[in-house]
Structure 1
């Protein structure tokens, strides 16, 4: 199937383009970007122009920042195109709900992707936790914003999510692997003096079984990056590291050792192909709901200014 990739930035170049080139399901037929291109692929700077010029491209994948994404997705759906959304699927819950309804009204597929759910050990972790009695789950998600988003000021603007841009990856795993629903009960958000989005966050959740569920997100990590979560249960302890790529039960590694992001985006595109073929929709908004609740409920603290 032909697909158009919208927004040729770092994540598109590093993950989307290689995944599409290696996929048996997809042919990257066009790109839309103000500056980026992909060698050998027709490039447009106008999304409207691409839709008009390439009516045979029935699927678009949006890799734009979250704030402008709604307008692009709505325009694609109005033009009869299936839509795949990079995480987070939008800047607000309401616009994501509206997009899902647009897709349903038109009989189109729409997919809110959460790439970290496709990490190699997320499914085994979910299976292991399914019949366990959880006592605590702690997430440590600390990375260097300068390394992953160099000079990208939009991430600290209103709607850019700040540290929840990576933190929502952790929330996507937590909502996938826990057998019981959780909801936020308290949060502390650290806002740089000169920014509109937080650079760090501490979250605490209500768990129906009384387990202690907490998250520590920070965008100021230097040196080794930390993407881990530890679940302590009556029956043992599960540890996920490297963003869900590796898993340990009571200290013993389970399965093969992987580096981060291995296979995540190829699996997303395989799922999108299945949705399009079956006319399906996948718009799980639980990770975004937890992030939104943090902004609603969180206590705001001001920290030192941040500049790239």
Structure 2
């Protein structure tokens, strides 16, 4: 530990916290893990609390909190931390609704706190280069194929099937976060088909149509029933060539030529904590809700289709 490391507390010690947040905090020169808040788990050598309120009362020198809990319970915890003057990092999606996130953004501003709504896929290795390459090109068709195995990534996690859990949009919003980052102009949702298992409250598959200015048209295919190799691809046709992002944004090809190559998820969370350190130093929040807005629009415009029951 050095004098320049900022202690950060993690709320929720589930898979994403253990696999991504904890290692990235450990690797960061800007942060150290100051505390863990969890009702069911603990971490050796780190102060552990069963409630956020207890931690806030007993750890006045921890200025930042990373919320790694399901979105349905995130608002109250973020509100509690911001009300106590702590800076907050939100896992994606930043909330269960747009109005929740907007309220938190207003609270952070009024209390002089930093609020960072993270989108980890934007920190994938190929994304910044893709954004740069597309900036001055006329974009035609965009095809997104985002198919994965929910049993592998969310084993036994019932919150994803409950209202506010997003269902297949939990991974699909990663694709939308990349899309909204790399396109030089916004797109609007025009139609959607959503497949809901007859025993679940959130969709297991979605097909989306979006349009932008000129010839820009986006089609997206999200599905949580794929087994074997996982598919996280975005293909963009332009007036000056074809761009392909694969591996969730880790691999970038331009006209079939490899431009960058990295393991999926590699350094994404390192990038998140690097950005959080910058925001804290600048005293500036970053809250982009455009990916979540596309999900909300899909749920508003979507035609509901009934799929076979899903059981873990």
TM surpasses 0.5: yes
Mapped partners of 1:210, 1:241: distance in 2: 23
Cα displacement (A) at 1:210? 2.3
Match of 1:10 in 2: 15
CA deviations 1:35-80 (Å, max 9, x no partner) are 1222211111111111101111110000000010000000000111
1:184 equivalent to 2:194? Answer: no
1:53 equivalent to 2:85? Answer: no
Cα displacement (A) at 1:155? 0.2
SS across alignment from 1:72: helix
1:150-169 equivalence runs, <5 A: 150-169=155-174
Match of 1:247 in 2: 252
Match of 2:302 in 1: 298
Match of 2:48 in 1: 43
Mapped partners of 1:141, 1:101: distance in 2: 33
CA deviations 1:87-139 (Å, max 9, x no partner) are 00000000100000000001110000000000001000001111111110000
Match of 1:124 in 2: 129
Mapped partners of 2:294, 2:236: distance in 1: 19
1:258 equivalent to 2:269? Answer: no
1:274 equivalent to 2:267? Answer: no
1:210 equivalent to 2:215? Answer: yes
Mapped partners of 1:259, 1:58: distance in 2: 32
The count of residues paired between Structure 1 and Structure 2 equals 307
Match of 2:3 in 1: none
Give the TM-score, by structure 1 length. Answer: 0.99
CA deviations 1:219-269 (Å, max 9, x no partner) are 1110000001000112110000000000111111113x2110110001101
Mapped partners of 1:36, 1:223: distance in 2: 31
Mapped partners of 1:207, 1:153: distance in 2: 36
Mapped partners of 1:161, 1:171: distance in 2: 13
Q: Of the candidates 104, 107, 119, which is equivalent to residue 102 of structure 1?
A: 107
CA deviations 1:132-186 (Å, max 9, x no partner) are 1111000000010000000001101111000000000000000000001101000
Mapped partners of 1:40, 1:240: distance in 2: 40
Mapped partners of 1:289, 1:282: distance in 2: 16
Match of 1:145 in 2: 150
Cα displacement (A) at 1:187? 0.3
SS across alignment from 1:68: helix
Mapped partners of 1:211, 1:62: distance in 2: 36
Mapped partners of 2:110, 2:182: distance in 1: 31
Point out the more displaced range, 270-279 or 238-247: 270-279
Point out the more displaced range, 287-296 or 208-217: 208-217
RMSD, aligned α-carbons:
0.7
Query: What stretches of structure 2 of length at least 5 have no aligned partner?
Result: 1-5
